Amino acid sequence: EVLLSNVYAYQDIFGRDERKAPEDDILTFPQDLRKNVTGLQYSTEINKLTVKLAAKFYDYALTGLDLRGFTVRQSNNRVGGYAAVKYAFNDRVFARSSFENGIRIPNSGEFFGNGNTVIPNGGLKPESSNNVNLEFGYKSGKEKLVSYGMEVNGFLRLQRDLIRLSGDEVLP
């Protein structure tokens, strides 16, 4: 089975905050963000084994402000993907493992700020991570009136350029 998907988003911000002087009002500086993510996945089942392979293309372009209020124009594209394998020991017990090279493009609130407590930061880089998952699961049979299941999952995530909001940071 082959699956092709695409998500496109365009966001812009422009306006006026009447409570602020024009030079202090970030809304008077037009900012926009275009994001496009395309993915292609292949999956197959061979006896008790299910395999999924996927590639994703991440693309974005931004016109925004940096931490000092200067206009920033940046664009970037990256490739990520994942591979997953599931083995069904029988109808009730399975093991699954996966690896992903993931990308997260900052959202408009992280790039543009909110005009109040979050300042614009057009200099942000996309987050990237390498993720490994391992899972074991059990599910009861469907022939019973009540069914139940249990899964144990462990993962390791190595992140770069992590984006987080913090209320305790002070700007120079």
pLDDT in tens, 26-65: 777 788 999 999 999 999 999 999 999 999 999 999 988 7
Task: Tell me how far apart the alpha carbons of residues 172 and 157 are, in angstroms, rounded to a whole number.
Answer: 32
Which pLDDT value is given to residue 168?
56
36: Cβ contacts below 8 Å, ≥ 6 apart? 6, 7, 8, 9, 58, 59, 60
Which pLDDT value is given to residue 171?
45
pLDDT in tens, 130-169: 999 999 999 987 776 788 899 999 999 999 999 887 765 5
Task: Tell me how far apart the alpha carbons of residues 24 and 16 are, in angstroms, rounded to a whole number.
Answer: 10
Q: Pick the closest to residue 94 from 53, 133, 50, 52 (CA basis).
A: 50
Residues 37-63: b if buried by 16+ CB within 10 A, e if exposed: bebebeeeeeeeebebebebbbebebb
Which pLDDT value is given to residue 141?
76
pLDDT in tens, 106-131: 888 888 877 677 777 888 889 999 99
Task: Tell me how far apart the alpha carbons of residues 29 and 39 are, in angstroms, rounded to a whole number.
Answer: 33
pLDDT in tens, 8-26: 999 988 778 788 887 777 7
DSSP designation for 26: G
Residues written for the chain: 172
pTM of the predicted structure, to 2 decimals:
0.76
Helix (H) and strand (E) counts in the chain? 1, 7
Which pLDDT value is given to residue 167?
63
Computed over its alpha carbons, how large is the radius of gyration of the chain? 22
Q: Pick the more confident residue, 25 or 89.
A: 89
